Chains A and B, each alone.
Chain A
C-alpha cells in the first residue's frame, strides 16, 4: 500500500465519524486530487464492502468513509458487551425526522400540522442528538426557525446521501401534490 493510503487508513481508523474525501485530502497538503482518489481506491480495494479478508470494512456513508464492523460480528460483540448498538429512535422522533428530511428547510408549525401534535419537545431532542439542526429562519411572522437534517442523520441510517431516501412516488401511498392550504 502507498504511504498516502496508509496515512488515510490511520486517520479513518482514528476518526469516530465518517471522513469525506476533502477531509482526507487535508492530511497531506502536498498531494493533489488524483493522488487522493488513487489512495482511497487502494484502501477500498483492501477494505471495501464485500472484501472477505477482514472483520471490518470501509463503508461509503453520510458523504464520507468510515470503518465499520461487518454485519455478522455485531451479535457476538454485543453479547460480550464490548460495544452496544445505538438506541432505537421513538416513532415520534422518526416521524419528525421523515418530515424534516423531505421538507427541509421546514419549521415547527409545518411539522405540527403534518403530525397533528405539538412537536417542539421532539425537535429539541433531535437537535440535542445532532440529527437535525437549525439551518435558517423563515419569512413571515416571528421569523420561525427552520430545521434540516445533519450528516449524523445519514450516518445513523447508513445512507450515503439524502438522495438514497425513497422517492415519494415509490411509496405505496399515492403521491398527491401538496394541496394549497385551505381556509379553516
Chain B
C-alpha cells in the first residue's frame, strides 16, 4: 500500500516541524504518539511498510524534545522504541538468514492498525454529525459554559476586597505550644504518697480501675523514672500479672 496523503485525519493545518517552540500546543491536536507518527509519515510521503526509521526517529525526537517530561510519557516510550528499532537495524546480519525478522514489523503492524482506527473515527464522526441533524424529545442540553463576566469594579470596592483577602491571611505561626495531657509530676506525687504509707502496692492502687491512656502513660513514665532513681522496685510475679511496686528500702535508707 502507499502512504500517500489521505484525508483520514483532521490533518493539522500548520506544519509541525518548522515551528520549533510551539509544540506543546501543537501536540495537543494529536491524540497520541501513533497519531504524531502517522502525521510525520504522511507529511514526508513515506512508505509505511518500508519506514526509514532513522529519519522518522530523528523527526519524532525533534518534535517531542520541547515537551515537559510529565505529559510526554507515552511519547517518550515511543521515542525509545524508535531508537531501539534503529539500533537493531544497524546490527550486522548474515546473508540469507531466514530467521531474521524485520525489527520494524511490530511498529508497522501497530501503525496500520491505528490508521484503520483513525479511518473508523472519521466514519463515526460523520455518522454522529448526521444524527445530530435530527433532534429527539427530552434532550436536556448541558449547561453552556458561560464566559466570565467582564470585570467592572470601583476602586473602593477593589481596595475593600483586597483588605478582606489580606485579613484572611493568617499570622505566620512561629511556634505552637502543644498542651501536654501527661501529668508525670502528679503521678510521681501519688506514688510517693503511696510509698510513704505502704511498703508495697499494686498497679491498680496507683491508677484506679479505669485509667485513661494519659493516666496510664503518666504513671508508667513516673514509675520508670523513680525506679531508675532507686526510689522503688518494679516486679511482675507472673506473665500478665498485675505489676507490684515495692519501696526500695535499702537505698531509701542511704
Residues facing B in A52-97 (CB within 8 A) are 59, 66-71, 73-74, 77, 83-89, 91-92, 94-95, 97
Among B6, B105, B123, B134, which residue has its beta carbon within 8 angstroms of that of A68?
Answer: B134
Judge whether B65 is part of the interface by a CB distance below 8 angstroms: no
With both chains docked as a complex, state the minimum distance between the C-beta of B110 and any C-beta of chain A, in angstroms. Answer: 7
Contact with B along A153-184 (1 / 0, CB 8 A): 00111110000011010011111101100100
With both chains docked as a complex, state the minimum distance between the C-beta of A146 and any C-beta of chain B, in angstroms. Answer: 18
Residues facing B in A89-129 (CB within 8 A) are 89, 91-92, 94-95, 97-99, 101-102, 113-118
User: Which residues of A are found within 8 Å of B109, using beta-carbon distances?
Assistant: 176, 179
Most buried by B among A13, A157, A166, A175: A157
Contact with A along B123-136 (1 / 0, CB 8 A): 11101111111111
Query: What CA separation (Å) do A66 and B31 show in the bound complex?
Result: 34
Are A118 and B117 interface neighbours, CB within 8 A? no
Judge whether A16 is part of the interface by a CB distance below 8 angstroms: yes
How many chain B residues touch A (Cβ–Cβ < 8 Å)? 42
Beta-carbon nearest neighbor of B139 in chain A: A83
User: Which residues of A are found within 8 Å of B106, using beta-carbon distances?
Assistant: 182
Given A95-B117, A95-B118, are A84 and B139 neighbors across the interface (CB < 8 Å)?
yes
Are B121 and A91 interface neighbours, CB within 8 A? yes
Are A172 and B119 interface neighbours, CB within 8 A? yes
Are B33 and A117 interface neighbours, CB within 8 A? yes
Judge whether B224 is part of the interface by a CB distance below 8 angstroms: no
With both chains docked as a complex, state the minimum distance between the C-beta of A80 and any C-beta of chain B, in angstroms. Answer: 12
Judge whether B137 is part of the interface by a CB distance below 8 angstroms: yes
Query: What CA separation (Å) do A69 and B132 show in the bound complex?
Result: 10
Given A86-B132, A158-B130, are A16 and B137 neighbors across the interface (CB < 8 Å)?
yes
Judge whether B237 is part of the interface by a CB distance below 8 angstroms: no
With both chains docked as a complex, state the minimum distance between the C-beta of A77 and any C-beta of chain B, in angstroms. Answer: 6
Query: What CA separation (Å) do A44 and B56 show in the bound complex?
Result: 56
Are A91 and B31 interface neighbours, CB within 8 A? yes
Beta-carbon nearest neighbor of B129 in chain A: A88
Are A88 and B128 interface neighbours, CB within 8 A? yes
10 closest cross-chain pairs (CB), A and B: A16-B138, A158-B131, A84-B141, A68-B134, A117-B32, A98-B120, A116-B34, A157-B127, A85-B132, A94-B121
22 A-B residue contacts at CB 8 Å? A16-B139, A17-B136, A68-B135, A68-B136, A69-B134, A70-B134, A74-B133, A83-B139, A91-B121, A94-B121, A95-B31, A97-B124, A102-B120, A115-B31, A115-B117, A116-B34, A116-B35, A117-B31, A165-B120, A175-B116, A176-B109, A182-B106
Interface residues of B (CB under 8 A from A): 1, 6, 10, 31-35, 74, 78, 105-106, 109-110, 112-121, 123-125, 127-139, 141-142
